[in-house]
Amino acid sequence: MRSLQTADYIVFLVYFMIVASYGYWVYRRKKKAGTTASHDYFLAEGSLTWWAIGASLIASNISAEQMIGMSGNGFKMGLAISTYEWMAAASLMIVAIFFIPVYLKNKIYTMPQFLNQRYNSTVAMIMAVFWLLLYVVVNLTSILYLGALAIHAISGLPLYLCMIFLAGFAIIITLGGMKVIGYTDVIQVFFLIVGGLATTYLALTLVAEKFGETGVLNGLVLLTDKAEDHFHMILKKDNPNFISLPGLTVLIGGMWIVNLNYWGCNQYITQRALGADLKTARSGLLFAAFLKLLMPVIVVLPGIAAYVLYNEGGFQDQMMVNGELVQDNAYPVMLNLLGPGLKGLAFAALTAAIVASLAGKANSISTIFTLDIYKKKINPQADEKKLVWVGKITIVLALIIGVVIAPFMGIDKKGGFEFIQEYTGFVSPGIFAMFILGFFWKKTTSNAALFATVGGFVFSVFFKFLPKIMDLTFLEPFGFAAKNDQGIYEIPFIDRMGFVFLICITGMVIISLVDKKLGIKAKGLEIDRRMFALNPAFTVGVLIVGGILTALYTIFW
């Protein structure tokens, strides 16, 4: 039933009031303390605890593209899509051990600042513009559109009205600054997990009842039995979804670029930890890694359950739009089956995920524009109050642009989660190559970084359109090409990222060595081996995460 009952509205109102009231309380406390500096507004410098950092990371990461898009991919391809979540847990550990110490030691607050400090202002400005376009045109619009689509499917409210509601709610949270976002994210994560688990509970119960059984565990056993092909993490070449998740590449190839770039070189994510000390930041990332292990239970299993029930004759009309099966309808269909009150809780969880991501993304857009473009190029003399004011205006404008352009981006055609991953992948390889060599090879020059910045994007576009120039069938036996929806062989986008990354690394090494011979010097960062040392408690946590991941991939290989 596409409507909310009185009990649902009460539950949602309670959620809204808790988040808004707590956010306002944090904001008032911060204001009384006189913390109006731009770094405090954008980064909550020194004030987020480890649990707030970890919760904020997850709240900002889990949004409509996961709740709706990844659940839709669970319907289509199964548990394999969980590799984005489980590999993220491993990536968080690498970022905590190797990346965060470098940022904190060199007092880096934004990613363009890192590029300016390590390379030069040209590289930093090009990437600042790239990031702004990517965050507004791809990420912000996707979150808004997919979130509004889900709320529309659940409540029956007009799609555009849903987008305006989400944008407005996000503005309320975001204008308080990073500290308000960080602490309200703790509440958002609570609702996200509780509401998400309620949806999973319902999905597994429905599967059990469909086959004359009862209980969640029986539902899970039946799910693995009735959709056995949906419980493999490594897809074979003959799998129709191989083009999305090309076999072992998810373990030894491009998936590392996806995750390490996202969790380690992404303003949207890393700024949660950049205002803390090393121990607090690392503990926050470890907490986020444990939460990441849980996410497939919340976002993927309901999609697989919807697939099983659909094959048994259920949801025949609800999964269809204009006569076509739409995978991203899987999660909203499940939510619509919840009873009064529970549906409101799940609705609050979904809204929490969307609003938290919108708030985090808008804050990152504001941070990059204000500190790296406005402050450096437009008004270098701007005082702290002026910077905060510009940041707030940027937030409002970014969300307005997102609402206006989101319906025209074709997000619903590809599947929301893959839409974001593929188009982010046009810049990810070059960015990651720049960062990884910038961290750990002092000879890397700014000319090399410029090659990665521009060349990475150009090569990504080239490989994307290569199938229109030549037949790539010859790559199929090697697993580097697969048929797309039009029956044309193309290179899977995860493999494309791997190829472009290797090209960027090779080109950067060659250019840096040539620059050295020409007498062009590189600007290295301050790195001390001791800053990578781990405390015993953190080491134990890393080993536990690693052990769980090894077990999961062994069981569901």
Question: Does the pLDDT value for residue 185 go beyond 70?
Answer: no
What per-residue confidence (pLDDT) applies to 35?
46
Question: Does the pLDDT value for residue 40 go beyond 60?
Answer: no
Mean pLDDT of 29-57: 62
CA Rg value for the chain: 23
Domains along the sequence of the chain with CATH: 48-412 (1.20.1730.10), 425-526 (no CATH)
Mean pLDDT of 475-484: 74
Mean pLDDT of 475-489: 74
Beta-bridged to residue 489, according to DSSP, are 483
pLDDT digits (tens, 9 = 90+) for 274-293: 767 888 889 989 999 998 99
Question: Does the pLDDT value for residue 195 go beyond 60?
Answer: yes
DSSP assignment, residue 339? Answer: P
| Mean residue pLDDT across the chain | 81
Tokens of 50: 């480890």
Phi, psi of 325 (to 5 degrees): -70, 125
Tokens of 478: 């090697």
N- to C-terminal Cα separation, the chain: 38
What per-residue confidence (pLDDT) applies to 102?
86
Mean pLDDT of 206-211: 88
What per-residue confidence (pLDDT) applies to 410?
64
Mean pLDDT of 163-168: 87
Confidence of residue 32 (pLDDT cuts 50, 70, 90): low
What per-residue confidence (pLDDT) applies to 253?
81
What per-residue confidence (pLDDT) applies to 42?
53
Confidence of residue 131 (pLDDT cuts 50, 70, 90): confident
d(CA 156, CA 356): 23
Q: Is the whole-model pTM more than 0.85?
A: no
3-class secondary structure, 352 = helix
pLDDT digits (tens, 9 = 90+) for 296-346: 988 899 889 988 888 888 777 777 666 777 777 788 787 777 777 777 877
Label the pairing between strands 324-325 and 320-321. antiparallel
Question: Does the pLDDT value for residue 37 go beyond 70?
Answer: no
CB distance 187 to 55 below 8 Å = no
What per-residue confidence (pLDDT) applies to 515?
92
14: CB partners within 8 A, 6+ apart: none
530 CB burial (10 A radius; 0-12, 13-18, 19+): exposed
Q: Which residue would you say has higher pLDDT here, 550 or 526?
A: 550
Q: Which residue would you say has higher pLDDT here, 484 or 393?
A: 393
What per-residue confidence (pLDDT) applies to 459?
92
- The dihedral region occupied by 341, where left means phi > 0, alpha psi between -120 and 50, and beta the remainder, is left
Instruction: Give residue for tokens 């036996």.
Output: 477
Least confident of 174-188, 205-219, 464-478, 543-557: 174-188
Confidence of residue 124 (pLDDT cuts 50, 70, 90): confident
